[in-house]
Amino acid sequence: MSDPVKTIVVVGAGTMGSGIALTAAQSGLRAVQIDLSAAQLDKARGYHTKQLARLVEKQKMSAEDAAAAASRISYGADFDAFKDADCVIEAASENPQVKKKLFRAFAETFASDALLATNTSSISITDIATATGARASQVIGMHFFNPVPVMKLVEVIRGLATSDESVARTLDLARAMGKTPVLANDRAGFVSNRVLMPLINEAFYAWMEGVAEPHDIDQIMVLGCNFPMGPLRLADFIGLDVCHDIMMVLYRELGDAKFFPCPKLRQLVTAGRLGNKTNLGVFDYSPKA
């Protein structure tokens, strides 16, 4: 049996990767934040500093603990320098080619017993694992939710070749990060996005067909269905490009037209209106708004 995970290399420093690295560091683990983009690494570092300062301000964490958590995170452009880590969590773009290329490199880089996890929202774990050859038993889906420091769920997905040991290690790791892991099987979108994405897509159709304005669509779902946030606001929060890419995986894999992204969603993505991360999506998040 392998030891519990102590150091996680997090590949991708965007919305999810930055949250995973912060949560790991807050839980006493070492985290290495990797991204190709220096700007994204800077943004992640700024986010970590701000979040930890906020916890100190709210007296939810001592200044010493916040400083210790910050010191457990390192940043870099290349994971080659961290090959002794016992776990890697990939949180790069939702694109099968990007992920398979990364997993091929992971199998060549990390120790023979390292856990190779992906935060994919929809792509087959079995398919990603094919890129690792003989290491497929160590590949697993570890699907965190946004914002990672707040959301309790981790959807854990085993591929066809994932070993019982990798599942047990992942469940332990999720719990060590203060999360509640729940198992799902390896079908496109697993449970969460298979159920959520058609709802978001339908909200875009309701907007496009003039059934109601975005604010009213969201308010109806919040007040009428007791949702904490409307589907259009949630789509902005997830990232409209990420929603689009997840829907395309669901459409291709499950072959059902209901998953094909609504033209209104596609139009916003084409225009670069990606939601909170660009300050403009369905709604306007710029300071002036």
Helices (H), the chain: 15-26, 38-57, 63-71, 96-109, 125-129, 164-176, 192-208, 214-225, 231-238, 240-254, 263-270
Cα dist from 127 to 104, 120, 188, 248, 257, whole Å: 12, 12, 11, 16, 22
User: Does 212 engage in binding with ligand NAD (CB under 6 A)?
Assistant: no
**For ligand NAD, which residue of 49, 62, 71, 93 counts as binding (CB under 6 A)?**
93
Q: How many of the chain's residues bind ligand NAD (CB under 6 A)?
A: 30
Binding ligand NAD (rule: CB under 6 A), the pick from 23, 51, 119, 138 is 119
By C-beta, is 212 or 248 nearer to ligand NAD? 248
Phi, psi (5° rounding) for residue 75?
-130, 145
Distances (CA, A) of 205 to 201, 258, 264, 265, 276: 6, 11, 7, 9, 21
Other beta carbons less than 10 A from residue 286's beta carbon: 8
- Each residue 217-246 as x (binds ligand NAD by CB under 6 A) or -, in order, gives ---------------------xx--x---x
Between 102 and 221, whose beta carbon lies closer to ligand NAD? 102
Largest interatomic CA distance in the chain: 58
Active site residue 192: no
List the one residue from 2, 40, 130, 276 that touches ligand NAD (CB under 6 A). Answer: 40
**In the numeric block, which tokens belong to residue 81?**
């320098």
Q: Which one of 18, 143, 166, 201 is the catalytic residue?
A: 143
Q: Select from 89-97, 211-219, 256-264, 265-273 the region that touches ligand NAD (CB under 6 A).
A: 89-97
Amino acid at 101: K
Residue nearest to ligand NAD (CB): 14
209 classed as catalytic? no
Min dist CB 149 to ligand NAD, Å, is 13
Distance of closest approach, residue 142 Cβ to ligand NAD, in angstroms: 10
Give 156-184 as a DSSP string: EEE-TT--HHHHHHHHHHHHHTT-EEEEE
Nearer to ligand NAD, 26 or 118 (CB): 118
Q: Which residue has the tokens 């603990």?
A: 65
Binding-site string for ligand NAD from residue 17 to residue 36, where x marks contact by CB under 6 A and - marks none: x----------------xxx
